Amino acid sequence: MSAGSLGLGYVAGLLPLGTVMGVAVISIGKVTTSGLDGREHAGLKDAVNMARELAFKRIRMEAILRKASGVVAVDFEMQMLSEEVLEIRCAGTAVANPAAGLQTSEPFLSTLSVAEHWALAQLGYAPREIVFGFCKWHQSLGYRSSNMKLLINSEHPDFTRGLATARNLAHSRLYEQARLVKAQGVVGVVPNQEIRRSQEGMEYQVSFLGTAVSFTAPGASAHNVTPSVLIQ
Amino acid sequence: MSKAPYTQGSHEGLPAAAVQRLQEMRGAGDKPKLFTSDLSVNEFLLVKQAGFEPLGLVMGSSIYHIGIQIPGMFQNMELDVLTQAMYHARELAMTRMEEEADVLGADGIVGVRLIVNRQEWGENLAEFMAIGTAIKHRAGGNFRTPDNRPFTSDLNGQDFWTLLQTGYQPVALVMGTCVYHVAHQGFMQALKRIGRNVEMENYTQALYDARELSLSRMQAEAERDEAIGIVGARVEESSHGWGSHIVEYFSVGTAVRELRPDHVVPAPQMVLPLT
């Protein structure tokens, strides 16, 4: 944390306590699925959910031990250690609000910086939870696509539809998680997409990472802030 | 190159589940309203300050098979099959993104990025993607384009806010493209140039032609949308793996119009940053 954000953290009620982290390594049960048309990698979906929940539980536990009100600037990372082993790791800075006294509710998790929290607070929003929607989808070549003429311009109907489906599933999961914590929205969403050619077709891996926020101060409005333009 | 007609409320290009998700985000049924946005927090704040509410992250994409066109070795020419593909696929992606925004009941989309992914996974296959944040004005007002699409803009939250402050509004993300084959130089030409500084006229001419075609197509789109100008216009150059003599010139920018004919541009203020 820089000197500037330390000062801002004092104003915003986010005084740093220390780094906390949570890690979970999961072995994926069912490895592959393949279908005639398109199918989700269901085993991986469950593993991601499990790893996310475990890692969040652990980072929260560390935050509670430090009597923190939340964890900011969380770095969320997901990686495959091998074909069958998945790791989710998150680390961030535990913060406390000295004015609020002893913390009783669950600490919040957020990917945002201290400055961003201050800006959000001006709008009346408070961070709740990191949300992560994920989907890995296998799309096979359909009948229409295998008959495509090679020399002309044309959209690939099956591949396009598969990608849209994968993205929608990942996006829906982001929402479901935000709804679970009764958030009003998700800010700073970072989409990530990987496309690979597989033997039978295409493989899409789509994820959305963001911070769910809820509206806590009805009196706040964007008009409390006067933006000025910096001409450089 | 012209856009296909657009019908407001059509969601032809979207999976049924996506339409349902977007309707739920608006607060349909027993689900509470929920927004998402890929804007940074500062951009989020500025968009709200400008009177808009972010509604949702919207995306559209198309995986497109690009046809084949073989140019003559010593010929400067536009490869219209490829130009057509690059334009059509981007337009499909844009339209799907606009359809998503319409399901959310948005006035327009800010922070639009157009991305072309072409990797080893597909010979002649490319993924075209459009992504941005759909927003709606709290007080209402007409922000749609003349052909009734939601407005689109590749400006970020800061630029969007500044544009509105100065009395302009974005109309549409306008684009033009041209894929061009630059002729190889002949043996005699190469021979004449040995040891001398000379302009390579056919190369210069080719690049000029291609850029000019691309820019004029972007301008034609802005004229069609009854804009008074294009801000943030730029020309991107890429060969998308076609080899060294085939280049795409892609022009893109945000076409703008005046909010009111008598708008005033506020005087700039001096700010001295401490960092």
pLDDT of residue B6: 84
Partner B, chain A 179-208, Cβ-Cβ below 8 Å: 179, 182-191, 193, 195-197, 202, 208
| 3-state SS, residue B57 | strand
- A82-106 burial string, b = 16+ CB within 10 Å, else e? eeeebebbbbbbbbbeeeeeebeee
At residue B264, the 3 state secondary structure works out as coil
Which of the four pLDDT bands, split at 50, 70 and 90, describes residue B131?
very high
Mean pLDDT calculated for residue range B106-130: 86
Q: Which of A215, A14, A170, A43 is nearest to B59 (CA)?
A: A170
Å between A116 CA and nearest CA of chain B = 6
Identity of the residue numbered A12:
A
A72 vs B241, more confident: A72
pLDDT at B236: 93
d(CA B275, CA A198): 50
Structure pTM? 0.88
Average pLDDT over residues B152-162: 93
Residue B116 touches chain A, beta carbons under 8 Å: no
Condensed to tens digits (0 to 9), the pLDDT of residues B200-223 reads 888 899 999 999 999 999 999 999
pLDDT at A20: 96
Least confident stretch, A43-52, A53-62, B237-246: B237-246
**Is the pLDDT at B275 greater than 70, yes or no?**
no
pLDDT of residue A178: 94
Complex ipTM tops 0.90: no
Per-residue pLDDT, A200 = 73
Distance CA A181, CA A23 (A): 22
Taking an 8 Å cut-off on Cβ atoms, the answer to whether A161 and B15 are in contact is yes
The answer on pLDDT for A232 being more than 60 is no
pLDDT at A144 over 60: no
How many alpha carbons lie under 13 Å from residue A19 in its C-beta half-sphere?
A: 5
Mean pLDDT along residues B128-139 = 94
Contact status, residue B137 vs residue B193, Cβ threshold 8 Å: no
pLDDT above 90 (res A199): no
| Better-predicted residue by pLDDT, A24 or A216 | A24
Stretch B220-247: mean pLDDT: 91
User: Does residue A145 register a pLDDT over 60?
Assistant: no
CA distance A224 to A122: 7
| Token code pair at residue B219 | 């301008």
> Which chain B residues have a beta carbon less than 8 Å from that of A228?
269, 271
A127 touches chain B (CB under 8 A): no
* Least Cα separation, residue A74 to chain B (angstroms): 15
pLDDT of residue A153: 84
- CA A56 to chain B, closest CA, distance in angstroms equals 21
Q: What is the mean pLDDT of chain B?
A: 89
pLDDT reported for residue A47: 93
Residue A147 has pLDDT above 60, yes or no: no
Query: Which residues face A78 on adjacent strands?
Result: A88
Q: Round to whole Å and give the CA distance between A63 and A69.
A: 8
- Of the pLDDT bands very low, low, confident and very high (cuts 50, 70, 90), residue A142 is low
Please give the residue of chain B at the shortest CA–CA distance from A3: B275
Question: Measured between CB atoms, does B37 come within 8 Å of chain A?
Answer: yes
Q: Give the pLDDT confidence score for residue A1 in this predicted structure.
A: 64
| Residue A36 predicted with pLDDT over 60 | no
Quote the pLDDT of residue A32: 58
Is some CB atom of chain A closer than 8 A to the CB atom of B125?
yes
Rounded Cα gap, residues A174 and B7, in angstroms: 29
Q: What pLDDT does A54 receive?
A: 97
Q: Is the pLDDT of residue A34 over 60?
A: no
Q: What is the 3-state secondary structure (H, E, C) of chain A?
A: CCHHHHHHHHHHCCEEEEEEEEEEEEECCCCCCCCCCEEECHHHHHHHHHHHHHHHHHHHHHHHHCCCCEEEEEEEEEEECCCCEEEEEEEEEEEECHHHCCCCCCCEECCCCHHHHHHHHHCCEEEEEEEEEEEEEEEECCHHHHCCCCCCCEECHHHHHHHHHHHHHHHHHHHHHHHHCCCCEEEEEEEEEEEEECCCEEEEEEEEEEEEEEECCCCCCHHHCCCCCCCC
How high is the pLDDT of residue A42? 85
Q: Which residue has the higher pLDDT, B131 or A153?
A: B131
Q: Please state the φ and ψ torsions of residue B160, each to the nearest 5 degrees.
A: -60, -45
Q: How far is B152 from chain A (nearest CA, A)?
A: 19
- Name the residue in chain B with its Cα closest to that of A149: B67
Judged by average pLDDT, the poorest of A98-107, A109-118, A133-142 is A98-107
Nearest CA in chain A to B272: A230
Does A111 have pLDDT greater than 90? yes
- What percent of chain A is predicted at pLDDT more than 70? 83
The pLDDT score that the predictor gives to residue A196 is 86
Looking at residue B161, its pLDDT comes to 92
Question: In the prediction, which pLDDT does A230 show?
Answer: 57
Distance CA A219, CA A124 (A): 7
